[in-house]
Amino acid sequence: MMRTPGGTRIDDGDRSKVTKHCVFTTEETHSAVRSYAQVFNKLIRRYKYLEKAFEDEIKKLLLFLKAFTESEQTKLAMLTGILLATGTLPPAILTSLFSDNIVKEGISASFAVKMFKAWMAEKDASAVTSALRKANLDKKLLELFPANKQNVEHFTKYFNEAGLKELSDFLRVQQSLGTRKELQKELQERLSQECPIREMVVYLKEEMKRNELQEAAVIGLLWTCLMNAVEWNKKEELVTEQALKHLKYYSPLLAVFSTQGQSELVLLQKVQEYCYENIHFMKAFSKIIVLFYKADVLSEEAILKWYKDTHAAKGKSVFLEQMKKFVEWLQNAEEESESEGEED
């Protein structure tokens, strides 16, 4: 036997009455609803056998949100968010919100923003997004909206206006990661089929435009796919020659997507990390960079910047030493060019 925040005595069988007659009639404030959430927490901690029945009941309530007034929906959303934050309810119950009958009415999205606000009032945004990820709900958030509104732009606008920018940013990142995985898979397939470079350029540019991808993201994907496309020789003296031949062939493809300073630096760091993590490539690093310089994939400015302050920590002493003479040559050529310009 327990008491509600208002002093009413309840037993185990009255949990639905607490929801219907107490939660729905309390004030529409976080603190008021939180008091009732604490009652449920205590009940379920004391009587573990209620846990599954309680989850099932909340799922049913979410499926029939249309039967409640807007105020009742708001209070239930707040209660659900608080109970998710305390771990009394698992994130999996939110699958009920993807039911067509409440999605089409706009009820799911409205309920979700109120629920997330309550959840984030108890926990920080990273805890919320982590829970969504573990429950495999991170990729389903767009389904809170009707089919004609299931896009990142609408989601971002709706959630930003509700004061949930952290979640709209999270969705953008998740969508971008999903897009990159699909793009990488498609690129690997095209490389295995030896698709002409011209066709790959057209395909990638269309994907960049359609998915609003930045060039720096694409160049990183390209490098990864190119290095995964080959079965490399295990002998260090042979793998360098093999790599240079392979990369020379695809340098026109890389050059199309390394037109910005940031893209070039991303590529330089990707090459550095790859050569460090694959021991047979340790001595190939400088040769790859010189090849990319001669093929107009990397500019003098990018290489000098990488050498000076944007190199990664992995194997930096080895790679900086490899690049020392070439960098000195670049610097001398730059100084000579400047002195000639002054004379002119």
**287 half-sphere exposure, CB direction, 13 A CA radius:** 16
**pLDDT higher than threshold 50 for residue 223:** yes
What would the pLDDT profile of 93-121 be if each residue is shown by its tens digit? 999 999 999 999 999 999 999 999 999 99
Token pair of 258 as six digits: 């390394």
Q: How is residue 72 written in tokens?
A: 């009742």
Alpha helices in the chain (DSSP H): 15-17, 30-46, 50-63, 70-86, 100-103, 107-122, 125-134, 152-161, 165-192, 197-211, 215-228, 236-256, 261-277, 285-294, 300-305, 316-343
Which tens digits make up the pLDDT trace of 29-54?
Answer: 999 999 989 988 998 888 888 899 99
pLDDT at 340 over 80: no
The predicted pLDDT at position 181 comes to 82
Residue 343: which pLDDT band, with cuts at 50, 70 and 90? low
Q: What is the mean pLDDT of the chain?
A: 88
Q: What would the mean pLDDT of 111-138 be, rounded to a whole number? A: 92
pLDDT value, residue 15: 45
Q: Is the pLDDT of residue 18 over 90?
A: no
Distance CA 177, CA 20 (A): 42
Please compute the mean of the pLDDT values over residues 315-338 and round it to a whole number.
86
Weakest mean pLDDT among 6-20, 71-85, 179-193, 202-216: 6-20
Rounded mean pLDDT, 134-162: 90
Confidence band for 67, pLDDT divided at 50, 70 and 90:
very high
Residue 3 confidence (pLDDT) above 50: no
Percent of the chain with pLDDT strictly greater than 90:
67
Query: What does the DSSP assignment read for 301-330?
Result: HHHHHIIIII--STTHHHHHHHHHHHHHHH
In tens, the pLDDT along 200-221 reads 999 999 988 887 788 998 999 9
pLDDT higher than threshold 50 for residue 16: no
**Number of other CB atoms surrounding residue 85 within 10 Å:** 20
Q: What is the pLDDT of residues 178-203, one digit of tens each?
A: 778 888 899 999 999 999 999 999 99
Average pLDDT in the 127-139 region? 89
Confidence category of residue 339, pLDDT binned at 50, 70, 90: low
70: pLDDT strictly greater than 60: yes
Q: For residue 2, list its beta bridge partners.
A: 10
- For residue 197, the tally of other CB atoms under 10 A from its CB is 15
Domain layout of the chain by residue ranges: 2-135, 195-339
Structure tokens at 200: 């790959």
CATH number of 195-339: 1.25.40.180
What is the radius of gyration, based on Cα positions, of the chain? 29
